[in-house]
Structure 1
Amino acid sequence: MEHVKEGFITVTGGKVWYRITGKGPGIPLLLLHGGPGMKSSDSDPLRQLGTERPVIQYDQLGCGKSERPEDASLWTVDRYVEELGQVIRALELEEIHLLGHSWGTMLAASYLFTKPPGVRSVIFSGPALDAQRWERDQRAYLKQFPEQVQKTIEESESQGTTDSDDYQQAMMQYYKTHMCRVEPWPDELSDDLDQLNPNVYNYMWGASEFTVTGTLKHFDATERLHEIDIPALFTCGRYDEATPEATEQYASLVPDAEFHVFENSSHMPPVEEPEAYVETVREWVNRQEMKPGA
């Protein structure tokens, strides 16, 4: 791996870890990981773009290599938006391309609604821009599974036994269809899921993908997506938890946005179709920089 710089940035509530891969001449690409409560991927294929432009990852507060304070009042969209601004200022990033994945798309949209300067373009990867729709879409998917899987998940959630082996096995069937279809799962993906901070996930989202009970329960950016006035690309996998129908609808709400489906992926195209994912992102950011007046 070529030039890599790591460090910590002080933000509201603690310190967050960041990594910059590459020193290419292009406008930096800043990645917002999913979750809430997940971490940056060490093997993210987008790091390959470092020869063309700096690729910046950071673990949001409470996640990964960043500090994990116990104060639940920190787990708000507004504070994560504030944190993103603090990271951008600390790294002296005058211009960026912004890419959010899953919960990271909620963060990206919320940040853009503050009308920050210097964002050249945005990519919404596997977007979760309406929590109620996400819950409905997962429940519709669940109906396609064997009766026993549905029953195990529903009973475990209603009885609060989501730490049981039966529940974990049922969820794994679901994840292997709609989260990551690579067989077997890469060790890093399993490890990353193991490192998820349940305090952040449960507080902001809930017990599982099917049941939103946390502070994001009523998150819905759709009424404001028309305010995004920079180039926007919406992507998802054909079998994604962020369904192609939902993703295309979000794209239709942003002026001149583009929409792309990875045909052999679910929610993790960077793992399932890394070459296609990198090429799509590369082509997009390069095209934005070649526009007249850019």
Structure 2
Amino acid sequence: MLRRDALVLLASSLAMLATPAVAQSWKEKYPELVMALVPAENATGTLDRYTPFVNYLSKELGVKVTLRVASDYTAVIEGQKNKQIHIGFYGPGSYARANTVSGGNVVPFVTTKNSDGSIGYYSVMYVRADSKYKSIEDLKGTTLGFVDVESTSGFKAPNFFLTQQGFPIDKHFKVGQTTGSHENAVLALAAGTVDAAVNWWNSEDDSNLTRMLNKGMVKRTDGSPMTKADFRIAWKSPLLPGSPYAYLADMPEDLKKAIAKAFVEAPQKDKDAFAKLSDGKDLGFVEVTAKDYEESVRMNLWLDEQRKKKAS
């Protein structure tokens, strides 16, 4: 005859076998998270800007967060589509592309709030201040430097809005050439390789141009550093939605909530790491959803339709 304590142990064991297994923690399935960024500056600058923030995320989430600096926009889009990237940082247009090609599995969760409290940014077209060009009308028949075909400020928005305004790029400009990055577009303009270049712009003191000038990256032919006075804006787009961070929709809900919470709380929990992302210009992260980027999806569809017309 079994003793009472043995019977209790046996009953407990049988009960455990009959009970469904307790769901594993997301940390067991995701011991490492990969965050990738579309290129906005050179790899060294990106690593310097984002490494403290990635370290903060690793600490907050309790798993390793690995930063991947992509060579182009498509690498991030395809990487997240294939679930090799868990968190991606996009422009509105490249996010819209990622959302489409992933069948809706790439979704935005936060964007940044600018120093003036606004949300969003602009596409601008720069020219050299020592040139004769002062407006979009003046640039007819000239050479325009793009960034990347998946860049919102550096390709999609100029094509979309200038066509609406009566200046379709393929007709208004003699040549439109991609440069590969926001920095390359500015450098091409500075060197005189192009007559105008498009880029992102938040405010007079917060743009890709001002960041490059502050680093002494833009020089004249004699090697002396250029300043803001050496450039002027010939065209500016309507306000674009803020560049979003997006994660995979099919990840566990508690993981997605933990990621969003870590981002939103970053300015309070690691002020220095957050400030480094924008040289102290941004105020914080604000939560967003796919609904906030419906216009970006429509812009992409319009661009795709134009490509099909040209190809046919």
The answer to whether TM tops 0.5 is no
Q: TM-score w.r.t. structure 1 length? A: 0.31
Q: Which has the higher contact order (CA 8 A, sep 6+)?
A: 2
Larger Rg: 2
Q: TM-score w.r.t. structure 2 length? A: 0.30
